[in-house]
Chains A and B, each alone.
Chain A
Amino acid sequence: MIEVSGLSKNYGDLAALSNVSFTVEKGQIVGFLGANGAGKSTTMDILCGCIGADSGAAKVAGYDITEHPLEAKKRLGYLPDVAPLHLDMIVDEYVTYAAEIRKIDRSSIKSRVDSTIDKLALGDVRKRLIGNLSKGYRQRVGLAQAMVHDPEVLVLDEPTEGLDPTQIAEIRKLVRSLAGQHTILLSSHILSEVQNTCDKIIIINRGKIVTQGTYEQLAASMESGHIYKLKVARNGANAMTTLGRLGLQNLKAGANPEDIEFAVAASSGDQILDDVAKAVVDGGFGIRGLSLKTKSLEDVFLQLTK
């Protein structure tokens, strides 16, 4: 459904993208993961025909975006990082306008607008001015614009950026519910987000694709153990020496001597955690917390770009 091959783009001396290639199969949800400035939005802008690439090609539903832009764009819905809203329009009016310029059948405009508004739960605000809506609603209106013509391919650039946790959950649920009927490319800089919603993950760094695959594949290739955070009540330095005898990997103190971090290799099993807890309690350091540290995107990058 989406085929990107050998995209390169330079802004002056800065290489924003170099030789980016990936494909997205029909019905898949693919997460496009990268730090700010990694080239996610540039790739998406090129894919949607908003800007041109210096070299390479992008195909949407079999149509090259530069050779047959009109055909490709009919099959494409795009929510850029800033939702392309007209704040002086009413939600209803705006979604109808989006449907009109997408040139869908005149007779089906009304039903398409109604069903899109229903799907996105915008019914309560459909007569309100977009400028008066909250960020979460505006984002959904942005999604409505991208979905109103029922495109085969949906490109969403950080759709949950700046939303509150409830809204994030709603958008995620919505994106999941769209899987199958639409092919979705979704970008984010939050690992857990793509981890939960996407079938496949593409990681991009400094304009280059670092790796791609399912989350399980990536996690397996990344490392085979877990990092734990331990918080003791007192004598952090002594606790470190005691723990040192247990043979833990990467044992290190945080900003506070009472905050300790260590890694456990997958092979050593969970038994080691019991040993750690026992050592802390027996040593009289007082255990205040022991938790699994979730891998942040930063860790992924550190590991993948090492």
Chain B
Amino acid sequence: MRGVIAIARRDLRAYFSSPRAAAIFWFFLIFMGFFFNNFIHMFMQMTTQAPMMGGQAPTLEQLLKALFYNLHFILLLVVPAVTMASFSEEKRNQSIRLLQTAPCTALEIVLGKFFAAGALMGLVLLASAVYPLFTITHGNPDKMIILSSYLGLFLLVSSQLAFGLWVSSMTSNQFMAFLFTMFGLFLLLILNWMAPNLSGGGMTESVMKYIASSDHLDAFFKGTLSVAHTAYFLVFTGMFLFFTNVTLDSQRWR
């Protein structure tokens, strides 16, 4: 456990001692801000127009749900940027030898890296709460839904980070790590929509839909906490951390 903490602390500090953390915060918050601004305008417009046309005015929950949905797309670019260097950079500049010759197990190394990335993304999500807070100060959205959405987002980010770490552990090229992580995460996002075309329906389709992350996230955005959907993310995270562990361990044998 001491190894995990030491590695996590170093990695987290490394994010902040380079412009990487700043760039990630900037990118995430700016784009989230664009979306938020856009949705607020749309929201105002619809609120004034809907009664005139005899429709229902949109709710703040709908606004936030749209916002959170779009975060999924921003994360496609942010998460690979966070994990791409985790192992690739250490392999490229050979500093991985320090970890390999330390009396730490592969699992300790993987968890250290994962917690560092998780802490960074946790801080990013925390900072992003400024937008939902804005809606709370100016309106009255369901706070529980916001909390459950954030829980869902954090679970999503964890699973994405685990996947990114696995990709990073297989290459010494950061760019490749970025690219393949993004491909993989994008695939997981769109699998839901592609499933009907790729499969003949029935069992295959439902399995593919289950693998996709979007449906599980949906539940959190609706404010329902279910064991099944939480388990999906936890299992996904655990599985890819395990894969990373296996990859690291096997590299000692090549």
Binding site for B on A (CB under 8 A): 48-52, 69-71, 73-74, 76-78, 80, 82-89, 93, 97-98, 100-103, 145
Contacts and interface: CB of A to CB of B under 8 A. Distances in A.
B16 to A, nearest CB: 10
Nearest to B15: A88
B95 A50 contact: no
A78 B97 contact: yes
Given A82-B94, A100-B2, A101-B7, 20 more contacts: A48-B101, A51-B254, A52-B252, A73-B101, A73-B103, A78-B97, A80-B94, A80-B97, A82-B93, A83-B94, A84-B96, A85-B93, A88-B17, A88-B18, A89-B17, A97-B6, A97-B10, A100-B3, A101-B104, A103-B104
Given A97-B6, A103-B3, A78 B101 contact: yes
B34 interface: no
B14 interface: yes
Interface of B: 2-3, 6-7, 10, 13-14, 17-18, 93-105, 251-254
B14 A84 contact: no
The 6 closest A-B pairs by CB, nearest first: A52-B253, A100-B6, A84-B98, A84-B97, A82-B94, A73-B103
Given A52-B252, A101-B7, A103-B3, A86 B95 contact: yes
B67 to A, nearest CB: 34
A93 B13 CA distance: 11
Contacts, number: 77
Contacts of B100: 48-50
A148 to B, nearest CB: 11
Contact of B95 (A49, A70, A84): A84
Contacts of A88: 14, 17-18
A49 B105 CA distance: 12
A83 B95 CA distance: 7
Nearest to A71: B103
A82 B94 CA distance: 7
B252 A86 contact: no
Contacts of A48: 100-101
Nearest to B251: A51
A70 B97 CA distance: 15
B97 A73 contact: no
B101 A74 contact: no
A77 B103 CA distance: 11
A87 B102 CA distance: 19
A182 to B, nearest CB: 15
Contacts of B94: 80, 82-84
Given A70-B103, A86-B14, A88-B17, A52 B254 contact: yes
A51 B100 CA distance: 9
B174 to A, nearest CB: 15
A101 B104 CA distance: 7
B103 A102 contact: yes
A76 B251 CA distance: 20
A49 B252 contact: yes
B98 A101 contact: yes
A123 B104 CA distance: 29
Contacts of A103: 2-3, 102-104
A103 B5 CA distance: 11
Contacts of A87: 93
A76 B253 contact: no
Given A73-B103, A100-B2, A51 B95 contact: no
Contacts of A77: 101
B253 A102 contact: no
A101 B102 contact: yes
Contacts of B102: 73, 98, 101-103
Nearest to B109: A101
A212 to B, nearest CB: 25
Which of the listed residues B3, B101, B251, B253 has the most CB atoms from chain A within 10 Å of its own CB? B101
